[in-house]
Homo-oligomer: A and B are copies of this chain.
Amino acid sequence: MPIVTLTTDFGTRDGYVGAMKGVILTLAPGTTIVDIAHEIPRHDTQHAAFVLATSAWRFPAGTIHVCVVDPGVGGARAEVIVSARGHLFVGPDNGVFALVGAGCDGTWAITSPAFVAADPAPTFHGRDVFAPAAAALAGGLPPAAAGPATCLSLVARGRPIGSIVHVDGYGNLITDLAPGPTFVRAGGQRVAVRRTFLDVDQGQLVAYVGSAGTIELAVREGSAAAVLGLARGAPVEPA
């Protein structure tokens, strides 16, 4: 049976994640369900997009990735299945798949009754649309059976390069700058690009090529976000 991953902003204090898992295991018995992250900041689709982009590709081809960060649930945004580089992605078309869209070779709107629960709650498509759709795919239905081909809206694409794209739980600032510069400027400070944060003392600011492949700023055993007072979107430039 295939793998289904879950990425949500539901947290782990309510029954929402459990309900999704129950639906998937009922409709597609034997599926391997894997939690990627459930503490995505509430409603933060850009955060979710980065999390998916830095984890989904590590799974085997054929994996089905469900993402439910969906402040517009029940509204006009489409519910989609995206096929990209041998993986399938299921969720709202609100930008959560922006960073996988580059490799996209097909997008379908979910409309077929075989892919959704009867009478879905307008506020919980994770349980009533995305979990059933993932189960249908896990059970072997092709994505094209879900509904008409559509166009993935790559929300938040086209931004100029040179900014913070993600702040992780350590307070590290991940940028979209490709490796190359030997110094960067962020928050009014000029920072040398070293190999890793061990090249500075504890509490010192440093830049290096991070695990996402781009330039990242950190404070060793501290928070660069706090020290520099910067958040996602702040400019970072070669200097």
Contact = CB atoms under 8 A, between A and B. Distances in A.
Interface string A138-153: 0000000000000000
Interface in A122-164: 122-124, 127-128
Contact of A123 (B11, B23, B54, B211): B211
A15 B52 contact: yes
A41 interface: yes
A210 to B, nearest CB: 6
B39 A168 contact: no
A71 interface: yes
A197 interface: yes
Interface residues of A, number: 69
A50 B18 CA distance: 12
Nearest to A11: B169
Given A11-B39, A25-B3, A124 B211 contact: yes
Interface stretch (A26-34, A184-192, A230-238): A26-34
Nearest to A60: B26
A162 to B, nearest CB: 21
Interface string A1-38: 00101010011111111111111011001001111111
Given A13-B37, A14-B169, A19-B54, 20 more contacts: A11-B169, A12-B35, A15-B50, A15-B53, A15-B55, A16-B55, A17-B36, A18-B36, A18-B51, A21-B34, A21-B36, A21-B59, A23-B58, A25-B60, A74-B195, A121-B211, A122-B198, A123-B208, A124-B211, A128-B211
29 contacts: A3-B25, A5-B22, A10-B169, A12-B12, A12-B39, A13-B169, A14-B37, A14-B168, A14-B169, A15-B50, A18-B58, A19-B58, A20-B58, A22-B55, A22-B60, A22-B63, A23-B58, A25-B34, A26-B59, A29-B60, A42-B170, A43-B221, A72-B198, A73-B198, A74-B196, A75-B198, A123-B196, A123-B216, A127-B211
